[in-house]
Amino acid sequence: MNKNLRKAVIAGNWKMNKTPAEAKELIEGIKPLVKDADCDVVVCVPYVDLSVALEATKGTNIGVGAENCHWEKSGAFTGEISADMLTSMGVQYVIIGHSERRTYFGETDVTVNKRVRAALDSGLNVILCVGEYLEQREQGITAELVSMQTKIALGGVSKEELKKIIIAYEPVWAIGTGKTATAEQANEVCAVIRETVKDLYDAAAAEGLTIQYGGSMNAKNAKELLDQPDVDGGLIGGASLKPADFAEIVKAASR
């Protein structure tokens, strides 16, 4: 983590958890614990919790994000939410391309790019997820795969627009399994992402890009992961639902 070059960002991904009442309670628990954070703090919540989250975080240092958005502004897409709908509420961030969207809901590299384009056009900050499955790591193609995902997702994105993008490296085999890439493994792939961005844009763009680690970062391993030079934050799953644990990760990123 190099705060001289880029922002450290800790973002909670609540996934399909918490009713609106529970969301309010969780945010109220988090607020006092992160109020002095020296990093950006974000909670990405289910659609039904967005209004409550926006109200509960007013006047605080906590940003609010959604967990997905569609690539069209409107239309016959039952069950989907557009980027304009999110910005009209005051939402600041959106997660795109999460491995669970790719695995369970047919997300592809092409649709990820379309969603990124729609989110940027609406003024949202994007948390763009890339990462490999266990079989792909065992085949030794992690670097090629993650580089390809990054290139496709950033297709048509200008250097100026890149400033509104955070890339989260998520080894799919480490999400929700309790397994975690070693700090060195995490940094190695984050460095591949940075090098890919350098090739696409230039060194300054790559050095300014915040790259998170998103594979089961928790209160115990956060410091070791965040000590790595190319790991600039975390996209936090289970630990983001526990105020004390989430605060510990924020603390580790605030050093």
Catalytic residues: 98, 170
Count how many Cα atoms sit within 13 Å of the Cα of residue 10 in the half-sphere of its side chain. Answer: 29
- 3-class SS of residue 98: coil
Classify burial at 140, counting beta carbons within 10 Å of its beta carbon; exposed 0-12, middle 13-18, buried 19 or more: exposed
In 3D space, the residue among 224, 207, 246, 186 whose CA is nearest the CA of residue 41 turns out to be 246
E-strand spans in 113-194? 125-130, 165-169
Taking residue 3's Cβ as centre, other Cβ atoms within 10 Å add up to 13
Contact 14, 66 (CB under 8 A): no
